[in-house]
Amino acid sequence: MELYMERYYAWLNSPNVDPETKAELEALQNNTDEIAFRFSSYMEFGTGGLRSKMGAGTGMMNNYTVAQATEGLARMIDSLGADAKARGVVIGYDSRHHSDDFAKRSAEVLTAHGIRVYLFDALRPTPCLSFGVRHFGAIAGINVTASHNPSEYNGYKLYWEDGAQPTAQMADKVSELILSADILNDVPAAEKADWSLVTMVGNDFDEIYLDSLLKEQVYPGLAAKAADQLKIVYTPLFGAGAKLVPEIMKRIGAKHIYPVEEQMAPNGAFPGLAKPNPEYPASFALGIELAEKVKSDLIIATDPDADRVGVMARDRDGQFKCINGNQMGSLLLDYIFNALEEQGTMPADAYCVKTIVTSEMATAICKAHGVELYNVLTGFKFIAEVIREHEEAGHGTYLLGYEESYGYLKGGHARDKDSVVASMLICEMAAYYTLKGMTLIDALNALYEKYGYYSENAAEIYMEGLDGKAAIAGMMDALRTKMPEEIGGSAVVNFRDYVAETSLDVRTGKTEPTGLPKSNVLYYAMENGCVVVARPSGTEPKIKFYILACGKDSGEAASNTAACTASLEVLLGLEKGSLKK
126-136 and 203-214 helices, crossing angle to 10°: 90
Alpha helices, DSSP H only, in 299-406?
325-343, 361-369, 380-393
Q: What amino acid is encoded at 329 in this protein?
A: G
DSSP 7-49: HHHHHHH-TTS-HHHHHHHHTTTT-HHHHHHHHSSPPP-BTTB
In whole angstroms, how large is the CA radius of gyration of the chain?
Answer: 24
Label the pairing between strands 453-462 and 542-551: antiparallel
CB 51 within 8 A of CB 61: yes
Adjacent-strand bridge partners of 76: none
Q: Catalytic one among 99, 147, 283, 419?
A: 147
Whole-angstrom Cα distance, residue 326 to residue 502? 26
DSSP 210: H
Burial of 537 per CB tally in 10 Å (0-12, 13-18, 19+): middle
Question: Please, are residues 111 and 197 in contact by the beta-carbon 8 Å criterion?
Answer: yes
Could you tell me which residues are beta bridge partners of residue 114? Answer: none
**Helix (H) and strand (E) counts for the chain?**
19, 23
Contact 258, 294 (CB under 8 A): yes
Q: Is 147 a catalytic residue?
A: yes
Active site residues: 147
